[in-house]
Amino acid sequence: MDPPATKYAKSGDLNIAYQVLGDGPLDLVMAWGWLQHLDYQWFNPTVSSFLRRLAAFSRLIMFDKRGVGLSDPLEGIPTFEERMDDIRAVMDAVHSDRAAVLGFSEGAALGALFAASHPERATALILYDGVVVGPLVKGVPVDELWGDQPERAAATIVNWGSGDTMDWIAPSLAERGVPKSAWGSFERASMSPGTALKLWHAIQQLDVRDALPAITVPTLVMSHAESSIPAAQGRLMTRLIPGARYVELPGRDHLPGADDPEAVAGEVEEFLTGARLGAAPDRVLATVLFTDIVDSTRRAAELGDRAWLELRDRHDAVVRAAIERFRGREVKHTGDGFVASFDGPARAIRCACAAREGARKLGIELRAGLHTGECDVIGHDLGGLAVHIAARVGAAAGTGEVLVSGTVKDLVIGSGIDLEERGTHELKGVPGTWQLYAVAAPARAVLAS
């Protein structure tokens, strides 16, 4: 499913950017939080997988709020009335009479007000890691409803564009080595430092608690137990909205889909449709990549424990960044290497080559092996013969070599990747003999569209 085209709806004198993804039987409008940019969201594999998951059962309608992203800029602070006008303008542009509304973070307050003010246009309401009252509102128990978030947000505005917001919006991405420079470009594309400061000041003063009892549509409230926005905000919404259902999910990530897209999207699908028909299957076709540091034991002995651990941490960051860049999923860390899965073999090969070149800059040599086949989905892990074959292909690779099975070779014809024969091999524990191929250097480490 390709990223959707960006179009514009007229809301008064302003142009509001929007996108539509999917053609499901129900309409779902998503109101994003503080940071947003319709085009940049597709460069983040975790966010894009979350959005595609929502679009699997809905017609997903997304828009950049006025003043940020691709929508027209503003000098002042937009009112909730103006932003609700923008939702109606976008719905009218896509011929949506009624839709479920998903409000995330700051967008939860907007979504709640829209559902309360325009029940004729809202079929249901989902409030996810939401904010409905700010820390500067008189009488608000800041420690309970906000924790240390006001100080953390203010500190990131000082260094706007450096990517510091990733530390509290998506800590799992930071730990997996996603470059802060890439996140910093998302910050800058979303808004300028001055706009970020003005909007953050407005968020600290918002208070829509009085509107929540007026919501009459079915409502789902979700919070992450350890998110930067405390779950107490979600519990407050649930108490104030008649008949609201509350789900508290494990995890620390605030960004939708940063750690487990299925956990959030699955709850939304079940709430709106009554079933999780789009849940992850028990078996999936995937290209499995194994990487391994060559002569790691010898290098550890030469460097000593402390220096080796520091070098290995830098290696881990390089490989994780490559997996993220080429839209893969880290399955597990093996100590001296990684197991990752990809939905396309060409991207998997380019990831392996990028990780190899990045490791070489650190003075480390990698070997890598890839195979494509049907895998058993076991929670976050993968199993089955295809995984076993990929591991054996990796074990057969030489220093600095990216080795692939004949299955992978057949699937990347026409991709521009050059492969060289490496003869037939017997793979331990795998029946028969296998023709293996090495990726000819240099392979183009460019992001596949």
Least confident stretch, 161-165, 202-206, 427-431, 442-446: 442-446
Q: Which of 253, 273, 293 is the last residue of a domain?
A: 273
pLDDT for the residue numbered 445? 41
Give residue-wise pLDDT tens across range 295-304. 998 888 998 9
Average pLDDT score, the chain: 91
| pTM score above 0.85 | no
| 49 and 72 both lie in a single domain | yes
In a domain? residue 1: no
Residue whose entry in the numeric block shows the structure tokens 């992978």: 408
Phi/psi for 302 (5° steps) reads -70, -40
* 264 touches 50 (CB < 8 A): yes
| 267 and 300 both lie in a single domain | no
Q: What domain count does the chain have?
A: 2
pLDDT for the residue numbered 2? 62
Note down the domain range covering 336: 283-439
pLDDT for the residue numbered 103? 97
| 34 and 170 both lie in a single domain | yes
pLDDT for the residue numbered 281? 55
Q: How far apart are CA 233 and CA 137, in angstroms?
A: 14
Mean pLDDT of 399-406: 95
Give residue-wise pLDDT tens across range 302-328. 989 899 999 999 999 999 999 999 999
In a domain? residue 74: yes
| 304 and 262 both lie in a single domain | no
| 223 and 361 both lie in a single domain | no
Share of residues in the chain with pLDDT > 70 (%): 96
Q: Which residue has the higher pLDDT, 315 or 384?
A: 315
pLDDT for the residue numbered 443? 47
pLDDT at residue 210 tops 80 = yes
- Residue from 215, 186, 220, 255 nearest 28 by CA: 220
| 217 and 298 both lie in a single domain | no
| 132 and 269 both lie in a single domain | yes
pLDDT for the residue numbered 442? 58
Mean pLDDT of 106-110: 95
pLDDT at residue 91 tops 60 = yes
| 114 and 218 both lie in a single domain | yes
| 74 and 215 both lie in a single domain | yes
Cis (ω within 30 of 0) for the bond into 442? Answer: yes
| 241 and 292 both lie in a single domain | no
In what helix (H) or strand (E) does residue 219 lie, and over which residues does it extend? Answer: strand 219-224
Mean pLDDT of 65-77: 92
Q: Which residue has the higher pLDDT, 181 or 405?
A: 405
- Residue from 279, 268, 228, 232 nearest 251 by CA: 228
pLDDT band at 363 (very low <50, low <70, confident <90, very high): very high
Mean pLDDT of 59-70: 96
CATH code of the domain containing 400: 3.30.70.1230
Length of the chain, in residues: 449
| 294 and 230 both lie in a single domain | no
In a domain? residue 392: yes
| 88 and 141 both lie in a single domain | yes
pLDDT band at 235 (very low <50, low <70, confident <90, very high): very high
Give residue-wise pLDDT tens across range 127-140. 999 999 999 999 99
In a domain? residue 94: yes
pLDDT band at 446 (very low <50, low <70, confident <90, very high): very low
Q: Which residues contact 12 (CB under 8 A, 6 or more apart)?
A: 82, 85
pLDDT for the residue numbered 206? 94
Phi/psi for 427 (5° steps) reads -100, 125
pLDDT for the residue numbered 433? 87
In a domain? residue 239: yes
Mean pLDDT of 56-85: 94
List the beta bridge partners of residue 125.
Answer: 101, 219
In a domain? residue 446: no
CATH code of the domain containing 231: 3.40.50.1820
Q: Which two tokens stand for residue 170?
A: 């998506």
Share of residues in the chain with pLDDT > 90 (%): 74
Q: Which residue has the higher pLDDT, 251 or 14?
A: 14
Give residue-wise pLDDT tens across range 268-303. 999 999 988 755 556 788 999 999 999 998 888 998
In a domain? residue 114: yes
Least confident stretch, 64-78, 174-188, 427-441: 174-188
pLDDT for the residue numbered 449? 34
